[in-house]
């Protein structure tokens, strides 16, 4: 039994004539007649009554035809699904983030992606850098948004955008009265940072701006928890411009007038991944970031 036999039978039943069916399929009528005859022998059933006026389904042919049409429809659905998934039109992207994807320019990038790829699902996982590295290697996530200082040595990345760094202070802090701050004025403060036993990248990143001797208080918690502690007066922290778009009770934001007060955001993925939709997502984010000159 061959797929072509099913196609020939369905076309012949619709046309009522081997010649007209052959013309529709652009093959010889003798080919259709021969293949259907062989198919009938295989089934042990006469499917058509042949006559001078054409062909007509037998009762057995009428019983078989609905199954043939369902089989052809399923094959067409398989081809369609393969085409869509092979071209990255449908599917799912599992995106890990080091910090919440809020504010610009990331919000707009994700908005444009959703507008152009409405059939692709997007699931976000907020993880620390070590969890992200393991999840990518184990194929539990597809791509990740990370800051440059949290990348592992052999990570495959493309730069997406830069964000200015801003100081987040308690409302009642004396520095909140200033319009802008610098590293020298901040280095004597207690900095609240995220950190885990196997990662102190945020602490190291802060120290790269202000040198040694800065007081740090490390929390194995989300950035939102750190902001809550800032609002309660436990210390200060650094935020990105997009994070400063979110209002936290008791927290004010002040710009930092230093040329190096910025953060590089990178897109990370596994180059061995074969999922077409992931490749489409990486290409979209890379090309949009370049066209908008975000870095």
Distance of alpha carbon 94 from the chain centroid: 5
Length of the chain: 295
Residues 195, 214: Cα–Cα separation, whole Å: 15
Q: Which domains does the chain have, with CATH numbers?
A: 3-86 (1.10.10.10), 93-291 (3.40.190.290)
* Angle between helical axes of 276-291 and 59-86 (0-180°, round to 10): 40
The pLDDT, as a whole number, for residue 24 is 86
- pLDDT value at residue 274: 64
For position 198, what pLDDT does the model report? 73
Q: pTM here?
A: 0.67
CA nearest neighbour of 98 among 146, 30, 162, 50 = 146
C-alpha 295, offset from chain centre: 21
3-state SS class at 65? helix
Supply 142's token pair. 């597809």
Given this model, what pLDDT does residue 190 score?
95
What is the residue-level pLDDT of the chain in tens, covering all 295 positions? Answer: 788 888 888 888 888 888 888 888 888 888 988 988 898 888 888 988 888 778 888 988 898 889 888 888 888 776 766 665 555 566 889 999 987 767 888 889 999 999 988 888 999 999 888 899 999 988 899 999 998 888 888 888 999 999 999 999 999 999 999 999 999 999 999 999 998 877 788 888 888 998 888 999 999 988 899 999 999 999 999 999 988 988 999 999 999 999 999 999 999 988 776 678 888 899 899 999 888 887 7
The per-residue pLDDT for 29 is: 86
Name the token pair of 136: 């990518």
Backbone angles phi, psi at 165, to 5 degrees: -95, 140
Cα–Cα distance measured from residue 57 to residue 21, given in angstroms and rounded to the nearest whole number: 14
Q: How far apart are CA 72 and CA 272, in angstroms?
A: 35
Tokens representing 99? 């910090």
- Give φ, ψ of 87 to 5 degrees: -100, 5
């Amino acid at each position: 039994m061959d797929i072509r036999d099913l196609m020939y039978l369905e076309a012949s039943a619709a046309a009522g004539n081997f010649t007209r069916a052959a013309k529709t399929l652009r093959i010889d009528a003798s080919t259709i007649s021969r293949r259907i005859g062989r198919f009938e022998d295989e089934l042990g059933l006469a499917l058509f009554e042949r006559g001078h006026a054409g062909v007509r389904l037998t009762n057995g042919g009428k019983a078989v035809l609905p199954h043939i049409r369902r089989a052809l429809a399923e094959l067409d659905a398989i081809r369609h699904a393969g085409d869509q998934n092979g071209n990255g039109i449908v599917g799912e992207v599992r995106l890990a983030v080091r910090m919440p994807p809020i504010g610009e320019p990331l919000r707009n990038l994700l908005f444009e992606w959703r507008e152009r790829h409405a059939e692709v699902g997007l699931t976000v996982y907020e993880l620390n850098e070590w969890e992200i590295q393991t999840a990518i290697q184990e194929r539990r996530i597809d791509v990740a948004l990370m800051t440059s200082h949290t990348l592992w040595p052999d990570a495959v990345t493309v730069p997406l955008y830069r964000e200015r760094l801003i100081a987040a202070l308690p409302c009642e802090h004396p520095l909140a009265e200033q319009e802008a701050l610098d590293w020298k004025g901040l280095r004597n403060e207690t900095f609240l940072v995220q950190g885990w036993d196997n990662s102190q990248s945020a602490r190291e990143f802060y120290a790269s701006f202000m040198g040694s001797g800065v007081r740090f208080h490390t929390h194995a918690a989300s950035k939102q928890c750190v902001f809550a502690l800032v609002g309660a007066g436990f210390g200060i922290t650094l935020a990105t411009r997009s994070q400063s778009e979110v209002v936290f009770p008791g927290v004010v934001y002040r710009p930092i007038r230093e040329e190096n007060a910025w953060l590089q955001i990178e897109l990370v993925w596994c180059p061995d991944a074969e999922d077409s939709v992931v490749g489409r997502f990486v290409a979209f984010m890379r090309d949009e970031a370049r066209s908008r000159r975000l870095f």
